[in-house]
């Protein structure tokens, strides 16, 4: 070939290509596709041996994965489905348009649902199973911005009224409205999972699918046909959370998981990949991770063109156009597409010569073709051995025409004028008159019309409505004998850390006859840090395939035991994945009717700070369970330095309304809180979850003081009265409040203060957050009830009968104890750990942050002086004795 003129070479290559393709066709005609695969493999191997480097290709051609001849017939009545879908489209649009006419700026989205309508409607009519399907009921993550369409569907099914639709985004009116997005907190009988913070739905869905396997393998749920469906946007896949754990889904062979990515090629501001192809990019990523990828790109009209495209020119052209250009075809007329898409080659132009410009405009995308979508779903639900992603190509704002179809502004489009509305009405055949249309009225045909009967029947057959949230888990028993009792006694002189104590409690819980099996311990590769390795052997680490190897430490008692019915979710280094497992387990009481009780323990710095948005979503989802911030406390976690030493997680925990956060110091405090927590969440059905900080500092755990239980739960109790040793020598009094590991420093400070004639009571503050919430709730009541006998905040009541200055210290930033300032009836001095941590030992850290016993004592004396309750001379002497450096650098900015 080398010596041929270029034109001859091209002609020869064309002949050669033809011959090879003919040979391939011949093999295909024999009907053996596997033979084709083997042939291609053999060719690839021969080429490689001969030094041909075939470039790596994780993608397949830019055509539908499912060939027309592979399609199955779509059951049902397509005409009725189309009519119903058009009505859903209309009502979804009307909901947003009306809401924004009435209250400018109230928001809502039209174009997301219009692009996804077929994806949902095929799902609702043929695949998505409701709760009456029992164990087979699907778990569905709806794309948040498509909410208007989901409401419109529920309206047609008679689940929502016109009143609801009118009050879209008006949740505070007398007739309850509809929340902007999926929020189980606001619509607990409707939405199951919040999704609108992008990336959260996809990640939660992966761990949900894995958790279902966990429940099945552990005998907590029967094996089923249940699927987890995650509907997401193509722009949403840019969130690292969306794609970050897809390899887990493939590794775990989660064939119960289906992602449906609505590839309308647009996000909010513009194209997702204007200069590239998001679908090919996603295909490569998912295929590379081991997923079954189904591309659903072109509607049936394209099949005939592709069938006539014997030289593969059309498929090639489809694969070379960038998304920005594809978007243009949506906005321009058919002539533009003829020129720019087909016009690159006369043979392509020939292919569409018989089609008018109008016909070209009507060539549908795969995601708008019910048969193509049905086939994609059908293949997905029948795929075995791994997860499936459907990449469905659609048009953003489909049907909006001039008002926004395919335009860059379409995501934000909320208003439509009369002519836009007419255009939409005509396109989808909505039976509304010209007179009526201007008001964008909702439209539901009268009961009994075939399309309504049909869609209801379809839902009936698929196990009832969706979305729906149902709580069906039975209450657990209230008694937990032998689990917590031992901790009231203290450790009798022996030292222990609260982390150690927690692990002991967890071990006890795991042994409990009724609760044991429901406990789900979750760790992101930190079990040894927390001394939990004893549990490896006790309950095993969950592995869907058991243990295929003999672990290196098999000879040891506490070897690394993986088992199919293992109980611990050892997630590896993924806090986002671990919290997703926690959400799956903590919402299983609703999703699966199983009261699993998750305990997720992690480095406290990598909780709220790292995955705060997941925790927020968990609260929205009415999640229950325990989060344990381990190695907690800015000065208690020694050595680790700035990135690990957490002094802020409790402040962040305060921002989550359903989170009850505690910083317990002693074993019995932890026992009381966890026992109360299980009771609240799983017996009394209180909507809350817990954040507990647990430390690795070892100290003696004292005996539980009589009558302290109630105070431990409320957040404050008197741990120790002032020593009687001073007798008549008392010069001044003080109330010292300490929390977590700093409580011990406070106890020591009280002892130091005796030398200066100060008698100090010591209080343990298990939760500043709870005290603050109680005080505000009481104050609010008082404000709202003028003239009535005022109620007294709990913290005020605690300190009311006491004397002396009040000083409070914790291992967290000062805003924690500061929250009590208004409620204690006198000035409050606070100490805390504002500032960056350091790699140091505990004593030096506490000195640096001024939360050690000496600084607490000094601060108390300074406060007494300010209140004129002690002489300057005494304070000066104390400062000298305690070696307080008044010119020391402020740790808050050091």
Per CB under 6 A, residues contacting ligand TPP are 112, 115, 145, 196-198, 233-236, 262, 264, 266-268, 272, 396, 411
Minimal distance in Å, beta carbon 235 to ligand TPP? 3
For residues 124 and 135, what is the distance between their CA atoms, to the nearest angstrom? 18
Minimal distance in Å, beta carbon 330 to Mg ion? 13
Nearer to ligand TPP, 236 or 761 (CB): 236
**Binding to Mg ion (CB under 5 A): which residues in 694-713?**
none
Nearer to Mg ion, 397 or 463 (CB): 397
Helix (H) or strand (E) holding 733: strand 732-738
Nearer to Mg ion, 87 or 392 (CB): 392
For residues 80 and 450, what is the distance between their CA atoms, to the nearest angstrom? 7
For residues 206 and 139, what is the distance between their CA atoms, to the nearest angstrom? 11
Minimal distance in Å, beta carbon 440 to ligand TPP? 21
DSSP for 601-650, please give it.
Answer: EEEGGGSHHHHHHHHHHHHHTT--SEEEEES-STTTS-S--TTT--S-HH
Minimal distance in Å, beta carbon 371 to ligand TPP? 22
- Candidates 71, 114, 264, 591; binder of Mg ion (CB under 5 A) is 264
Place of tokens 């005020």: 796
Pairing mode, strands 716-720 and 758-765: antiparallel
For residues 537 and 588, what is the distance between their CA atoms, to the nearest angstrom? 26
Nearer to Mg ion, 233 or 625 (CB): 233
620 makes contact, choosing from Mg ion, ligand TPP, none, with CB < 5 to 8 Å by partner type, with: none
**Residue 270, number of CB atoms within 10 A of its CB:** 15
Task: Give, as one character, the DSSP assignment of residue 775.
Answer: H
112 makes contact, choosing from Mg ion, ligand TPP, none, with CB < 5 to 8 Å by partner type, with: ligand TPP
Pairing mode, strands 699-700 and 495-496: antiparallel
196 makes contact, choosing from ligand TPP, Mg ion, none, with CB < 5 to 8 Å by partner type, with: ligand TPP
268 makes contact, choosing from ligand TPP, Mg ion, none, with CB < 5 to 8 Å by partner type, with: ligand TPP
Nearer to Mg ion, 234 or 675 (CB): 234
Nearer to Mg ion, 235 or 817 (CB): 235
Helix (H) or strand (E) holding 140: strand 139-141
198 makes contact, choosing from Mg ion, ligand TPP, none, with CB < 5 to 8 Å by partner type, with: ligand TPP
Residue 343 backbone dihedrals phi, psi, to 5 degrees: -70, -5
Minimal distance in Å, beta carbon 112 to ligand TPP? 4
Nearer to Mg ion, 395 or 515 (CB): 395
CB-neighbour burial class of residue 592 (10 A; exposed 0-12, middle 13-18, buried 19+): buried
Which residues touch 821 (CB under 8 Å, ≥6 apart)? Answer: 827, 828, 830
Question: Which residue minimizes CB distance to ligand TPP?
Answer: 233
* Binding status of residue 280 toward Mg ion by CB under 5 A: no
* Binding status of residue 540 toward Mg ion by CB under 5 A: no
For residues 535 and 517, what is the distance between their CA atoms, to the nearest angstrom? 14
Minimal distance in Å, beta carbon 266 to Mg ion? 5
Minimal distance in Å, beta carbon 789 to ligand TPP? 47
Nearer to ligand TPP, 272 or 293 (CB): 272
For residues 421 and 424, what is the distance between their CA atoms, to the nearest angstrom? 5
**Binding to Mg ion (CB under 5 A): which residues in 735-794?**
none
Question: Which residue minimizes CB distance to Mg ion?
Answer: 233
**Binding to Mg ion (CB under 5 A): which residues in 234-263?**
234-235
Helix (H) or strand (E) holding 9: helix 6-29
DSSP for 522-559, please give it.
Answer: EESS-TTTTT-HHHHHHH-EE-TT---S--TTTTSTT-
Minimal distance in Å, beta carbon 262 to Mg ion? 6
Residue 656 backbone dihedrals phi, psi, to 5 degrees: -100, 110
Nearer to ligand TPP, 235 or 793 (CB): 235
Nearer to Mg ion, 321 or 488 (CB): 321
- Candidates 130, 148, 199, 233; binder of Mg ion (CB under 5 A) is 233
145 makes contact, choosing from ligand TPP, Mg ion, none, with CB < 5 to 8 Å by partner type, with: ligand TPP
Footprint on this chain of Mg ion (rule: CB under 5 A):
233-235, 264, 266
């Amino acid at each position: 070939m080398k010596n041929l003129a270029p034109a001859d070479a091209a002609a020869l290559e064309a002949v050669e290509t033809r011959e090879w393709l003919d040979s391939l066709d011949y093999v295909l005609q024999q009907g053996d596709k596997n033979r084709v695969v083997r042939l291609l493999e053999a060719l690839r191997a021969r080429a490689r041996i001969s030094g041909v480097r075939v470039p790596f290709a994780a993608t397949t051609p830019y055509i539908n994965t499912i060939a027309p001849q592979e399609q199955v017939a779509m059951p049902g009545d397509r005409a009725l489905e189309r009519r119903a879908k058009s009505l859903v489209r209309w009502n979804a649009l009307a909901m947003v348009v009306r809401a924004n006419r009435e209250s400018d700026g109230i928001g809502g989205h039209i174009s997301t649902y219009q692009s996804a309508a077929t994806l949902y409607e095929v799902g609702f009519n043929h695949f998505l199973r409701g709760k009456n399907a029992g164990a087979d009921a699907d778990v569905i993550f709806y794309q948040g911005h498509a909410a208007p369409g989901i409401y419109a569907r529920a309206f047609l099914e008679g689940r929502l009224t016109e009143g609801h639709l009118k009050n879209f985004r008006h949740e505070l009116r007398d007739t309850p409205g509809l929340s902007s997005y999926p929020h189980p907190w606001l619509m607990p009988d409707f939405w199951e999972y919040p999704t609108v913070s992008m990336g959260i739905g996809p990640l939660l869905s992966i761990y949900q699918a894995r958790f279902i396997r966990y429940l099945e393998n552990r005998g907590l749920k029967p094996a089923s046909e249940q699927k987890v469906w995650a509907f997401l946007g193509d722009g949403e896949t840019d969130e690292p959370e969306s794609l970050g754990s897809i390899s887990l889904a493939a590794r775990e062979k989660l064939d119960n998981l289906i992602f449906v990515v609505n590839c309308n090629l647009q996000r909010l501001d513009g194209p997702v990949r204007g200069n590239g192809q998001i679908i090919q990019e996603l295909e490569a990523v998912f295929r590379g991770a081991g997923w079954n990828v189904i591309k659903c790109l072109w509607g049936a009209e394209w099949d005939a063109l592709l069938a006539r495209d014997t030289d593969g020119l059309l498929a090639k052209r489809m694969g070379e156009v960038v998304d920005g250009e594809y978007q243009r075809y949506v906005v321009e007329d058919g002539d533009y597409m003829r020129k720019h898409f087909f016009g690159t080659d006369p043979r392509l132009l020939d292919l569409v010569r018989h089609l008018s410009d109008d016909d070209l405009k009507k060539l549908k995308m795969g995601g708008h073709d019910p048969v193509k979508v049905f086939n994609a779903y059908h293949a997905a639900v029948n795929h075995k051995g791994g997860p499936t992603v459907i990449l469905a190509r659609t048009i953003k704002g489909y049907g909006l025409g001039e008002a926004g179809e395919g335009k860059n502004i379409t995501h934000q489009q909320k208003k439509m004028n009369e002519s836009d509305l007419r255009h939409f009405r005509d396109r989808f055949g909505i039976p509304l008159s010209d007179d009526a249309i201007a008001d964008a009225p909702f439209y539901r045909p009268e009961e009994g019309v075939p399309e309504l009967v049909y869609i209801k029947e379809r839902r009936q057959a698929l196990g009832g409505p969706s979305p729906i949230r149902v709580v069906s888990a039975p209450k657990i028993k209230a008694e937990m004998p032998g689990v917590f009792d031992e901790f009231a006694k203290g450790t009798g002189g022996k030292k222990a850390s609260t982390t150690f104590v927690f692990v002991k409690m967890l071990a006890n819980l795991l042994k409990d006859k009724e609760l044991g099996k429901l406990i789900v311990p979750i760790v992101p590769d930190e079990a040894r840090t927390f001394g939990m390795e004893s549990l490896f052997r006790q309950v095993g680490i969950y592995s869907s395939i058991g243990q295929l190897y003999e672990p290196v430490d098999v000879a040891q008692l506490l070897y690394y035991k993986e088992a199919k019915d293992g109980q611990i979710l050892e997630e590896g280094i993924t806090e986002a994945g671990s919290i997703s497992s926690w959400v799956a387990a903590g919402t299983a009481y609703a999703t699966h009717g199983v009261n699993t009780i998750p305990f997720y323990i992690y480095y406290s710095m990598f909780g709220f700070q790292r995955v705060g948005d997941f925790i927020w979503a968990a609260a929205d989802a009415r999640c229950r369970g325990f989060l344990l911030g381990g190695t907690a406390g800015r000065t208690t976690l020694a050595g680790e330095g700035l990135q690990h030493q957490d002094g802020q997680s409790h402040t962040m925990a305060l921002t989550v309304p359903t989170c009850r956060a505690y910083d317990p110091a002693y074993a019995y405090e932890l026992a009381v809180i966890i026992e109360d927590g299980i009771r609240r969440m799983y017996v009394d059905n209180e909507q809350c979850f817990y954040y507990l900080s647990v430390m690795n500092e070892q100290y003696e755990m004292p005996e539980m003081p009589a009558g302290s239980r109630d105070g431990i739960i409320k957040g404050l109790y008197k741990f120790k009265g002032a020593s009687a040793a001073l007798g008549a020598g008392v010069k001044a009094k003080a109330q010292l409040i300490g929390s977590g590991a700093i409580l011990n420093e406070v106890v020591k400070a009280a002892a130091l203060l005796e030398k200066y004639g100060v008698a100090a009571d010591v209080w343990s503050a298990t939760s500043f957050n709870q005290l603050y919430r109680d005080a505000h709730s009481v104050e609010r009541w008082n404000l709202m009830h003028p003239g009535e006998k005022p109620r007294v905040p709990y913290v005020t009541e605690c300190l009311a009968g006491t004397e002396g200055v009040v000083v409070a210290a914790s291992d967290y930033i000062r805003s924690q104890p500061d929250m009590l300032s208004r409620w204690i009836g006198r000035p409050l001095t606070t100490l805390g750990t504002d500032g960056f941590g350091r790699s140091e030992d505990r004593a030096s850290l506490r000195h640096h942050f001024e939360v050690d016993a000496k600084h607490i004592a000094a601060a108390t004396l300074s406060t007494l002086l300010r209140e004129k309750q002690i002489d300057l001379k005494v304070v000066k002497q104390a400062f000298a004795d305690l070696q307080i450096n008044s010119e020391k650098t402020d740790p808050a900015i050091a």
